[in-house]
């Protein structure tokens, strides 16, 4: 009997409803004067053996209190629900939602990818956290190269080294390990370097890498592709110039300039009066890199390029790299 009552108590405590009629039915089930569970139990009291009366009386009282408490709680809850409903006027017009704009980095990223897509490049994503092999070794970086230094690179783990990629070039290796030539891919993404934040640099920035590998790919293909890109992106009068440079993963390597989009090549502050702006690094994929991913460098050749989206965005929109530390605030 006592166990049965305890089960009732548990049921009462677990009970919940949002409907007033269900709540009244709940109350009646237990407390109805005629046949409520609690009423019947009190009537039963006289038949309980003397030695059990005390315990029996206690649990029945507990049950009664639980029902009353639950009833009061739910009644208040339901009344509040109704209050809220009354305050809601469903005919009121909605509030305006302020619409944002795409960030210039996203806009330029899309424009660049679209131009290369029109030349047959497919955009892919590759990991931002990568191992030493993909970020450095397979790209022909010598063991003592300064980029491997803690000062330039964020290490997630040491020995074996796991880094935040310092460039999207890791994606070249990731892709080539799994695909046979011919292929043309672009690899957009975030890159990280251990740099102080200033108007010109940040520890996180964005790059787009491109790589094309096939039989008989030559430097002429690279020049033509980048010339096409520069004209599409900066305007049709734009010229390009290739300056010899060095990257471990390309041979020969070049840095590519375009005629200044602000002054048209006449010289201004943005191009530091040279008429030229550097926009990217590029070159012919070093045969060692192809061999590192199992592509026969006697049959295949390729070109690659990598550009920084922040820099190109600043050039395109004429954003000046103002250093606020040099500004003096007006005094009253």
Q: Of the two residues 23 and 256, which places its CB atom closer to ligand DAH in the complex?
A: 256
Residue 136 Cβ vs ligand DAH, minimum distance, rounded to whole Å: 11
Q: Of the two residues 181 and 281, which places its CB atom closer to ligand DAH in the complex?
A: 281
Pair 172, 250: CB distance under 8 Å: no
Pair 280, 305: CB distance under 8 Å: yes
Those residues whose C-beta lies under 8 Å from the C-beta of residue 113, and which sit 6 or more positions away, are 121, 123, 186, 188, 208
What single string gives the DSSP state of each residue in 79-99? HHHHHHHHH--TTSPPPPPPP
Residue 267 Cβ vs ligand DAH, minimum distance, rounded to whole Å: 26
Question: How far apart, in Å, are the Cα atoms of 316 and each of 5, 171, 200, 224?
Answer: 79, 26, 15, 21
Residue 170 Cβ vs ligand DAH, minimum distance, rounded to whole Å: 9
Using the rule CB under 6 A, give the single segment among 51-59, 109-117, 259-267, 275-283 that binds ligand DAH.
275-283
The span from the CA of 197 to the CA of 311, in Å, is 15
For residue 209, state whether it binds ligand DAH (rule: CB under 6 A).
yes
For residue 305, state whether it binds ligand DAH (rule: CB under 6 A).
yes
For residue 281, state whether it binds ligand DAH (rule: CB under 6 A).
yes
The span from the CA of 43 to the CA of 45, in Å, is 5
For residue 189, state whether it binds ligand DAH (rule: CB under 6 A).
no
For residue 301, state whether it binds ligand DAH (rule: CB under 6 A).
no
For residue 126, state whether it binds ligand DAH (rule: CB under 6 A).
no
Residue 281 Cβ vs ligand DAH, minimum distance, rounded to whole Å: 3
For residue 188, state whether it binds ligand DAH (rule: CB under 6 A).
no
For residue 186, state whether it binds ligand DAH (rule: CB under 6 A).
no
The span from the CA of 200 to the CA of 210, in Å, is 24
Choose which of 186, 238, 250, 301 interacts with ligand DAH (CB under 6 A). Answer: 250
- Beta bridge mates, 302: 213
# binding residues, ligand DAH (CB under 6 A): 11
Choose which of 271, 282, 289, 290 interacts with ligand DAH (CB under 6 A). Answer: 282
Q: Of the two residues 181 and 306, which places its CB atom closer to ligand DAH in the complex?
A: 306
Pair 114, 229: CB distance under 8 Å: no
The span from the CA of 254 to the CA of 101, in Å, is 36
Choose which of 126, 135, 169, 170 interacts with ligand DAH (CB under 6 A). Answer: 169
Which letter does DSSP use for residue 203 in this model? S
For residue 306, state whether it binds ligand DAH (rule: CB under 6 A).
yes
The span from the CA of 38 to the CA of 24, in Å, is 15
For residue 141, state whether it binds ligand DAH (rule: CB under 6 A).
no
Region for residue 306 given its phi and psi (left: phi exceeds 0; alpha: psi -120 to 50; beta: otherwise): beta
For residue 286, state whether it binds ligand DAH (rule: CB under 6 A).
no
For residue 247, state whether it binds ligand DAH (rule: CB under 6 A).
yes
The span from the CA of 73 to the CA of 160, in Å, is 61
For residue 304, state whether it binds ligand DAH (rule: CB under 6 A).
yes
Which letter does DSSP use for residue 182 in this model? S
Classify the C-alpha dihedral 228-272-248-148 as positive or negative: negative
Q: Of the two residues 70 and 134, which places its CB atom closer to ligand DAH in the complex?
A: 134
Using the rule CB under 6 A, give the single segment among 64-72, 175-183, 212-220, 302-310 that binds ligand DAH.
302-310
Using the rule CB under 6 A, give the single segment among 9-17, 111-119, 130-138, 300-308 that binds ligand DAH.
300-308
- Chain residues binding ligand DAH by CB under 6 A are 167, 169, 209, 247, 250, 281-283, 304-306
């Amino acid at each position: 009997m006592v166990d049965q009552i305890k089960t009732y108590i548990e049921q009462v405590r677990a009970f919940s409803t949002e409907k007033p009629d269900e709540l009244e039915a709940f109350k009646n089930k237990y407390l109805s004067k005629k046949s409520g569970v609690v009423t019947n139990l009190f009537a039963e009291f006289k038949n309980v053996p003397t030695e059990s009366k005390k315990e029996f009386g206690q649990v029945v009282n507990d049950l009664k209190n639980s029902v009353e408490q639950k009833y009061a709680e739910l009644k208040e809850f339901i009344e509040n629900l109704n209050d809220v409903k009354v305050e809601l006027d469903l005919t009121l017009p909605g509030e305006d939602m302020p619409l944002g704009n795409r960030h210039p980095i996203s806009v330029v990223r899309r424009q660049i990818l679209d131009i290369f897509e029109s030349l047959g490049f497919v955009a892919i994503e590759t990991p931002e956290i990568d191992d030493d092999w993909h970020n450095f070794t397979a790209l022909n970086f010598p063991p003592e190269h300064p980029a491997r230094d803690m000062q330039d690179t964020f290490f997630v783990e040491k020995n074996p080294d796991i880094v935040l990629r310092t460039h999207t070039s890791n994606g070249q290796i990731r892709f080539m390990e799994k695909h046979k030539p011919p292929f043309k891919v672009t690899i957009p993404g975030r890159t990280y370097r251990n740099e102080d934040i200033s108007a010109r640099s940040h520890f996180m920035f964005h790059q787009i890498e491109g790589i094309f590998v096939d039989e008989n790919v030559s430097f002429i293909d690279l020049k033509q592709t980048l010339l096409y890109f520069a004209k599409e992106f900066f305007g049709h009068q734009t010229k390009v110039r290739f300056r010899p440079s060095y990257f471990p993963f390309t041979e020969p390597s070049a840095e590519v300039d375009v005629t200044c989009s602000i002054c048209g090549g006449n010289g201004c502050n943005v191009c530091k009066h040279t008429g030229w702006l550097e926009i990217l690094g590029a070159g012919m994929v070093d045969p060692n890199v192809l061999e590192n991913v199992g592509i026969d460098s006697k049959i295949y050749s390729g070109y690659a390029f990598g550009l920084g989206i922040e820099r190109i965005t600043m050039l395109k929109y004429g954003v000046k790299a103002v250093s606020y530390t040099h500004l003096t605030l007006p005094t009253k």
